[in-house]
Structure 1
Amino acid sequence: MTNNKLLLGVDLGGTKIEAALLNRDGEVVHRKRSPTPIDSYAGLLSKIRRLCEDLESSAGLSRPLPLGICTPGSPSPATGLMRNCNSTILNGQLLRADLESRCGRPVRIANDADCLVLSETSDGAGSSARSVFGVILGTGVGGGLFINGALLQGPNAVSGEWGHNRMPLERLPALPDQLLKPRPCYCGRLDCIETWLSGPGLALTHERLHREPINVEQLHSQQLDAKHRETLSAYTQMLAAALAGVINIVDPEVIVLGGGLSNIDVIYASMPDLLQAQVFSDISLTEVRAAQHGDSSGVRGAAWLW
């Protein structure tokens, strides 16, 4: 198969790295995953190189492809150094230049939420909308904006980074008192939306409510027990309050949820009524949808960077 028929993407997550080859119709033709090295930057670069080379070998390619990579953060427009990564080993690194040197190929970088929204507006849950806010609910919380056919890219390269606004707890008076102890964020601030709506944030909510670890399988059960139902009720209220702030500013037609927590069905059943109570309008018409391409949205969006 010739190189110009395939695109190469890598999704650099907090717990796993996924590499994939896409054809020009957006179909994943080869895929490989591996755990993310969390304590070695050099090991991380080597792992990405091996994944890319293994995929190219499996596809019978003779020359390296350009690489698109989505990351839990972004390069600074001033220095090129990575910043705002909850995978903190990346912060302060010249990731794009280091990957180009290590892998022997050109590299383009975008954050994971930008890649999600690029994938989902191309041929997914946001393909019919003029304005889409793409949300990552996973190890961290991020966002990306797609307006009138293009990703929104501002001068500070932080468009959509709602996860590091403060959670509007004052809009949630019904939350139990034991939840309201301040939550420090890796960014140095307190009570960032990420500390409440990420996977670790959800687990902490459950622990504070019930003094026991969360059961991930229960979150996806059709018959939730009372404890996990209470935890998800608190979570969806917080999610609606945080998303309402985005709607009040951007007013997107569609919000697409990606990341591991986006697979929890309860979120979608309750969101219309919860948003209606929070948005500064007499009606809330913004639709909240699950990413059509699920866990593949990040790697697909990364490949589409080329």
Structure 2
Amino acid sequence: MAIICFDIGGSFIKGAVARAADDISPLPPRPTPLEDFEAFVATLIGVIAATGIRPQRIALSITGVIDPETGVATVANIPCIHGRTLAADLEAVLGVDVLIANDADCFALAEAGLGAGRGHAIVLGAILGSGVGGGLVVDGRLVNENGGFAGEWGHGPALPFFAGDPPVAIPAYECACGQRRCVNTVGGARGMERLHLEIHRTELSSKEIVTRWLAGDVDAARTIEIYVDLIASPLALAVNITGASIVPVGGGLSNSAPLISRIDETVRQRTLRRFSRPLVVPSGLTVEPGLTGAALLGLGTQA
């Protein structure tokens, strides 16, 4: 069996030929057409043609979500596929089955099958990148195989009005999803920077905040304390609800092992199940997890 998988980003389309979980061959990336659907399709066709094979299936990882009832795609950063019944539209042109999943879902599937979640029945993948994302895999299968929002612990009005010790007031930041007090508003890199500015009236990048925290800077330490306090309870609740026994973390903030360790310690203090070993852990896959997850989705590989 051979499938072709794609990781569709706002800048580039990355492709690969996958024959098995341990046989995934990346292809050269191509620029993503943002405004022209015909050009978008032509890019996919060009990648497929370059492989010289007739795939049995195509699987896509996208930075958006598929409505499980209508099949309509919400992909804000790629206007030409936003609002389309994307799988059906692509199948009509390409003539093969098309599977589509959110990039955080593909991350979770990759971690469950080949990464830090291997051997766990329930894996909650968490993304701490520019914002917050998540995906859920149960018994080796992606819960959102047909689209949906399972595992998206970063959205919903879940933030408290105060955090830290001593407590500070947390503004009701508006989220891109249209709600307020979403974990997404403070949980990613931009959220950490927003918190630091709110607390200390000083602009720093998330990388600078983490670096200063590790160097013993008092202001940065205060920001990290409040940041961890804010995201730990929603993440612990997500663990309670899903029954996840491992939470691999991806995204830029996952590059700081001390930060992930601090989050893990705090989350484990707040979960119903008491874990004597790390629960929130850095991702096991550091290269192309979205593309790998799309490959596993297309192959139908059990984690």
Length-normalised TM-score, structure 2: 0.80
In structure 2, the residue matched to 1:93 is: 84
How many residues align? The count is 295
Residue of structure 2 aligned with 1:276, choices 268, 275, 282: 268
CA deviation string 1:46-104 (max 9, x = no partner): 357426634752x5x25466321112332223322124x55474542222233345656
Alignment pair present for 1:158 and 2:149: yes
Structure 2: runs of 5 or more not aligned = 299-303
Identity %: 28
- 8 Å contact from structure 1 (residues 253, 286) kept in 2: no
CA deviation vs aligned residue, 1:137-196 (integer Å, no higher than 9, x gap) = 224422222223322349983221222122332573437636x11111122110111112
Give the RMSD, CA atoms, in angstroms. 3.3
Match of 1:266 in 2: 258
Given the alignment, which residue of 1, 7, 31 partners 1:11?
7
Change (3 A) 1:9 1:62: closer
- SS of the residue corresponding to residue 164 of structure 1 reads coil
> 1:19-48, CA deviations, whole angstroms, 9 ceiling, x for partnerless residues?
3334424344224445656xx4426x6357
C-alpha deviation, 1:246, in angstroms:
0.9
Counterpart for residue 215 of structure 1: 205
- 1:238 correspondence with 2:238: no
Aligned partner letter, 2:43: R
Once the two structures are TM-superposed, the CA of residue 109 in structure 1 deviates from its matched residue by 0.5
Q: Are 1:206 and 2:196 counterparts?
A: yes
Query: 1:42 aligned to 2:29?
Result: no
**Greater share of helix residues, 1 or 2?**
1
Aligned 8 A contact 2:210 2:220 in 1:
no
**1:106 Cα deviation from its structure 2 partner:** 3.4
- What is the SS of the residue equivalent to 1:162? coil
- State the Cα distance separating 1:216 from its structure 2 match: 5.0
Partner of 1:249: 241
Please give the TM-score of this superposition, normalised by the length of structure 1.
0.80
* Conservation of the 8 A alpha-carbon contact between 2:164 and 2:229: no
SS at match of 1:133: strand
Q: What letter matches 1:53 in structure 2? A: G
**Whole-Å separation in 2 of the counterparts to 1:94 and 1:46:** 17
Ranges in structure 1 where 5+ consecutive residues have no aligned partner: none
How far apart are the structure 1 equivalents of 2:30 and 2:167? 39
Q: What is the CA deviation profile of residues 240-295 of structure 1, one whole-angstrom value per residue up to 9, with x for unaligned ones?
A: 22211112222311111122222222222213431233224565656112221125
Paired residue type of 1:106: D
Give the letter aligned to residue 207 of structure 1: L
Residue matched to 2:173: 183
